Amino acid sequence: MADWKAAAAEKRQSLVNLIPTEWVIPAPPPPDAQRDVTGDYVRQYLTEDEVSITESEVPTILRHIHQGQWKARDVAAAFCHRAALAHQLTNCLHEIFFDAALHDAHALDDHFAATGKLKGPLHGLPISLKDQFHVKGVETTMGYVGWIGTFQGEKGTGKEKVFESELVQELRDLGAIFYCKTSVPHTLMSGETINNIIGYVPNPKNRLLSAGGSSGGEGALLGLRGSCLGVGTDIGGSVRFPSAFNGLYGLRPSSGRLPYEGMANSMDGQNTVLSVLGPMAHSVDAVKLFTESVLSKQPWLHDPLVVEIPWRESVFQSTLNNSKPMVFGVLANDGQVSVQPPVERALRRVADVVKSLGHTLIEWDPPSHERATELAYGAYILDGGRDIFESFALSNEPMSNQVAQMYGREPKPESTASQVAALNVKKRAYQKEYMEYWNSTSKLNDLQEPVTAVIAPISAFAAPTPEKFHYYGYATFVNVLDYSSVVIPVTHCDKDIDVFDDRYVPMNSIDEQTWKDYDADTYHGAPVGVQLVGRRLRRKRYLRWQQ
Amino acid sequence: MADWKAAAAEKRQSLVNLIPTEWVIPAPPPPDAQRDVTGDYVRQYLTEDEVSITESEVPTILRHIHQGQWKARDVAAAFCHRAALAHQLTNCLHEIFFDAALHDAHALDDHFAATGKLKGPLHGLPISLKDQFHVKGVETTMGYVGWIGTFQGEKGTGKEKVFESELVQELRDLGAIFYCKTSVPHTLMSGETINNIIGYVPNPKNRLLSAGGSSGGEGALLGLRGSCLGVGTDIGGSVRFPSAFNGLYGLRPSSGRLPYEGMANSMDGQNTVLSVLGPMAHSVDAVKLFTESVLSKQPWLHDPLVVEIPWRESVFQSTLNNSKPMVFGVLANDGQVSVQPPVERALRRVADVVKSLGHTLIEWDPPSHERATELAYGAYILDGGRDIFESFALSNEPMSNQVAQMYGREPKPESTASQVAALNVKKRAYQKEYMEYWNSTSKLNDLQEPVTAVIAPISAFAAPTPEKFHYYGYATFVNVLDYSSVVIPVTHCDKDIDVFDDRYVPMNSIDEQTWKDYDADTYHGAPVGVQLVGRRLRRKRYLRWQQ
């Protein structure tokens, strides 16, 4: 027992040691003393220039660097500083490599000064990465104590601290700067972020709540503007939860769109429901720029699972300039768990805006999402938990309650190949049924067009309080269908508007639990987002409609 | 025992009964008396008009129908007649539905006469289908006696004889006519076509040899021009073997390109190495027309596994009109099994033509294909044979020696979900290594371009003699990599040129067997094809270079 605690403490302290003394917050306030550490709170530790840089949007940052007004080194330094503050307030980092960032930024500045040429479209842009990406010079623990000092739990592979994931190589080629990797729940299989190395990641806008997971470190870091663009992954909502919970835009593309090659992962090779990576940021522009830039690297030449579909600017522009009315589905309630008042209001607001723009809304009444959730969970536990229990066993560290909620405390029997195949067939049948429902919506509206996108909650709440993430069904159907989804920030919880509905009659026990978990005072101030769900590989078509 | 024999005999006889008396060949000669039943031999049973129709290329047939010179009913009747002859000579059919074809053709003619409008680009075109496609009005046995009178081995599903596979619906919408389904080896997992219902499918050009498999009925039918366009499937060479063995063009696209939704299959849900469907025909034009037409139906709206990549005529035309030299890899020998003399000559001929056109050739020296074969076999036996043994058990029919070669006579233990995942990871690593080798070829030639396509054998022989299909490695690497491949007919075996090399020193026992299996007299006259292998989803780029 002592061993894993010591190893975790050492790793935790090693991060603190990498924060320059002048950036240390002497006595960070506890969450109940200072719920919201964003905005003015965090700004008190920053210079005016640092605030100006870190609160600029990605296109502005790039323009300033590319036109010579800002140095890449100053931009990198500002984000390093703010990330260091963010970590002290939310435990959002697993790896800190500010030195490497500043070194790389200097090199870019020198190159630009000497040649007048940019390395690429992302020249000088700091990008934060979830701790599944391998970056040279640092390790990847994915929140496991047993992975410290190893390559994905193995020692002596020769890849330790030298191997880089495909996307990292591509972003580097595009000119990006890396400076930190962000925290995750061990196993990645939770909508909250907790592990035995860095502890719990609270929501910076309201630290009584979760920052979400599994890309929760990204969510918190971005929420505090310690990053302007981050990359997360999503197998059951893990990009979208922290995006929504922290007031961000977040994209979960279909699988085969962006390169996952060379990433650390849980249950690697489980290919019934695939994890995908996606950008998280403060604007659609940043999300678009990321996607367009990565596709310009032709990732299909370096990742066997990526399909060759280049960025189609013309499709993007035609959608943007499209004045034709479209049809949107609205999923207000999935019939399993009702959403809490702030989410209900956010959905209504988006629906109202869409309607006011002249689009048609229809009620989204698809094949049961309960079946989708069953399929997703079926995929997550095909190996009975073997992969994750092996990783825990490396150090004998305990599993968090959040993860135990899905996997239990002991491995279960593995599925057989026949059972894996049967699940794949069931999933395909569900996908087929769902797509035909989608097709059929052209008969349900006057425009006689099928729905372009579905406006849906991403969770029943703005964000859960710790250990209260009981229902994933609003997220997982997207993963089972392999649809694309983009989260957009909509509003904030307001205790005066979003009052507890004490007359609500729950549909079942999880619904009851979720209903009772809402407390207007506790939730006050938390961001609320919703998702727009599009068909497979189709996100570009509507990425920007909402602006 | 008697039961399965009786059921098989009854099914076999029911096919014969569907052949009009005037089309019956009184006493078909045995193979050794009449090896080659194509050309003049089969023509003796046909009218001049029937010969003219059935020996026309697809664009000609369509032009004649669409301009009113030919009736769809006459075209259908001619192909029905020739298919009936083909079946009597090669056992190439599992289902005969000439009545439905003539009925549908009449309806198309009437529609055209009344409105002057075509149903679609394939209006009136007879298309033959491998017996994995469900077509209303007939059953699908896939060569299993136990599937007779069922839907995929199950009774009372409500789908029997009414359900249609997605592609069938799309082709119907495009105007195609269906008239027969073609025979397969039970399980589909053999490069020869044999089952307990129709027996063995010999090669119509040389009936001492196999027509190939698993789309062997298609191969034989097309080889006899009882079809102008057929659809097969390929999980380990099953479109490409019968295409090459019967002098045809055949396309194995990457998975996710053409709609497999709603097909019967073996080990459905095994998604490590996916079966795909592809066209087989007498010309590249037919292959192109099929692909272009199917994509015009937007199959990604009806098949969850199809990716949205429309037909890009501009890419096709730019490749066609490209006068820039390209680089081609040549795989003369995979280091496991050397090809027999006719295949060696065919490869050399293609390489010479390509070189004479000004293109550059490099030797193809990729990651070991032995590893690819191991990965493919690993995928085929993940369930230890459970799926196929269950289908055999339905009737207690015996398994053919060809299939037993892969699966043995008893089921083996199933793999666990972890083992499935581990295989997926190994496969992905192989794909990655192979694609980086492909990328690296730009450094191996003066044009500094990576290879456009690889000229490779599809098998070590022109076609095997019965039970002599011992090596699949020239085909399976394509399936593991999920690359696209097109087979092109090149030449015919010639006993005077393709002499047995008695000085050859075999590399191993399978190589020795393959070497000794070549007999110039036996092989004389058999067609020889080779394949052109392109990267994933890239076949259109070079589909036509060879013309």
B385-423 pLDDT per residue, tens: 999 999 999 999 999 999 999 999 999 999 999 999 999
B307, A536: Cβ pair inside 8 Å?
yes
Q: Does the annotation count B119 as an active-site position?
A: no
Sequence-distant (6+) residues with CB within 8 A of A249 are A243, A280, A281, A282, A283, A284, A286, A287, A486, A487, A488, A489
Among A304, A414, A428, beta carbon nearest to B418: A414
Sign of CA dihedral B385, B388, B393, B398: negative
Sequence-distant (6+) residues with CB within 8 A of A449 are A326, A327, A442
Sequence-distant (6+) residues with CB within 8 A of B195 are B143, B144, B183, B184, B185, B186, B400
Find the range with the poorest average confidence among A17-21, A444-448, B96-100, B265-269. A444-448
How much is the pLDDT for A321? 74
What is the 3-state secondary structure of A379-399? HHCCCCCHHHHHHHHCCCCCC
Closest-CA distance, B412 to chain A, in angstroms, reads 12
Q: Which residue of B has its CA nearest to A305?
A: B428
A536, B308: Cβ pair inside 8 Å?
yes
Q: Which of A14, A47, A45 is nearest to A27 (CA)?
A: A45
Q: Which of A208, A91, A186, A206 is nearest to A468 (CA)?
A: A208
Cβ contacts of A414 on chain B, cutoff 8 Å: 416-418
How much is the pLDDT for B537? 66
| CA distance linking residue B102 with residue B118, whole number of Å | 17
A382, B417: Cβ pair inside 8 Å?
yes
Q: Does the annotation count B190 as an active-site position?
A: no
Closest-CA distance, A424 to chain B, in angstroms, reads 5
**Residue B536 contacts A where some CB pair is shorter than 8 Å:** yes
How much is the pLDDT for B536? 80
Mean pLDDT score across all residues of chain A: 96
**Residue B100 contacts A where some CB pair is shorter than 8 Å:** no
Asked whether the beta carbons of A414 and A378 are under 8 A apart, the reply is no
Residue B47: CB atoms within 10 A of its CB come to 11
* Higher local confidence (pLDDT), A108 or A539: A108
Closest-CA distance, A413 to chain B, in angstroms, reads 9
B313 band by pLDDT with thresholds 50, 70 and 90: confident
How much is the pLDDT for B256? 96
| CA distance linking residue A377 with residue A236, whole number of Å | 9
Tell me which of A71, A119, A130, A468 is the catalytic residue. Answer: A130
Q: What is the pLDDT of residues B54-83, one digit of tens each?
A: 999 999 999 999 999 999 999 999 999 999
| CA distance linking residue B58 with residue B121, whole number of Å | 11
B307, A423: Cβ pair inside 8 Å?
no
Summarize the annotated binding site of B for substrate as residue ranges. 188, 214, 235-238
B384, A300: Cβ pair inside 8 Å?
no
How much is the pLDDT for B538? 61
**Residue A300 contacts B where some CB pair is shorter than 8 Å:** yes
Integer-rounded Cα radius of gyration of chain A: 22
How much is the pLDDT for B544? 42
Residue B247: CB atoms within 10 A of its CB come to 25
> With 90 as the cut, is the pLDDT of residue B438 above it?
yes
Asked whether the beta carbons of B475 and B343 are under 8 A apart, the reply is no
| CA distance linking residue B313 with residue B310, whole number of Å | 9
> With 80 as the cut, is the pLDDT of residue B240 above it?
yes
Q: Does the annotation count B128 as an active-site position?
A: no
Q: What is the pLDDT of residues B241-277, one digit of tens each?
A: 999 999 999 999 999 999 999 999 999 999 999 999 9
> With 70 as the cut, is the pLDDT of residue A543 above it?
no
Q: What is the pLDDT of residues A388-414, one digit of tens each?
A: 999 999 999 999 999 999 999 999 999
Q: Work out the average pLDDT over B17-41.
A: 97
B307, A304: Cβ pair inside 8 Å?
no
The helix/strand/coil state of B278 is strand
| CA distance linking residue B250 with residue B543, whole number of Å | 11
Nearest 5°: the CA angle B182, B186, B187 is 115
| CA distance linking residue A532 with residue A485, whole number of Å | 5
Q: What is the pLDDT of residues A480-509, one digit of tens each?
A: 999 999 999 999 999 999 999 999 999 999
Beta strands B527-534 and B484-492 are antiparallel
> With 90 as the cut, is the pLDDT of residue B8 above it?
yes
A-B C-beta contacts closer than 8 Å? 131
Cβ contacts of B423 on chain A, cutoff 8 Å: 269
Q: Which residue of B has its CA nearest to A535?
A: B301
B383, A300: Cβ pair inside 8 Å?
no
Whether A238 has a binding-site annotation, put simply, is: yes
> With 90 as the cut, is the pLDDT of residue B362 above it?
yes
Which 371-430 residues of chain A touch chain B by CB within 8 A?
A: 382-384, 386-387, 414-425, 428
Interhelix angle B417-440/B473-481, nearest 10 degrees: 100
Cβ contacts of B481 on chain A, cutoff 8 Å: 304
Among B268, B383, B435, beta carbon nearest to A304: B435
How much is the pLDDT for A2? 62
Q: What is the pLDDT of residues A322-352, one digit of tens each?
A: 778 999 999 999 999 999 999 999 999 999 9
Closest-CA distance, A298 to chain B, in angstroms, reads 12
User: Could you report the predicted ipTM of this complex, rounded to two decimals?
Assistant: 0.96
Percent of chain B whose pLDDT exceeds 90: 95
Among A303, A421, A538, beta carbon nearest to B270: A421
Q: Which residue of B has its CA nearest to A382?
A: B417
Sequence-distant (6+) residues with CB within 8 A of B305 are A428, B255, B256, B259, B260, B261
Find the range with the poorest average confidence among A425-439, B64-78, B126-140, B533-547. B533-547
What are the residues facing A533 on neighbouring strands?
A454, A485
| CA distance linking residue B10 with residue A66, whole number of Å | 79
Q: Which residue of A has its CA nearest to B482?
A: A304
Q: Work out the average pLDDT over A253-281.
A: 98
How much is the pLDDT for B543? 40
How much is the pLDDT for A537? 66
> With 50 as the cut, is the pLDDT of residue A157 above it?
yes
Q: Which residue of B has its CA nearest to A309?
A: B309
How much is the pLDDT for A177? 98
Among A268, A272, A384, beta carbon nearest to B425: A268
| CA distance linking residue A210 with residue A349, whole number of Å | 24
Tell me which of B11, B71, B130, B181 is the catalytic residue. Answer: B130
What is the 3-state secondary structure of B289-323? HHHHHHHHCCHHHCCCCCCCCCCCHHHHHHHHCCC
What single string gives the DSSP state of each residue in B148-217? TTSBTTBSS-S-TTT---HHHHHHHHTT-EEEEEE---TTS--SS-EETTTEE-EETTEEEEE--SSSHH
> With 60 as the cut, is the pLDDT of residue A11 above it?
yes
**Residue B440 contacts A where some CB pair is shorter than 8 Å:** no
Sequence-distant (6+) residues with CB within 8 A of A505 are none
CA torsion A220→A223→A229→A231, rounded to 10°?
A: 30
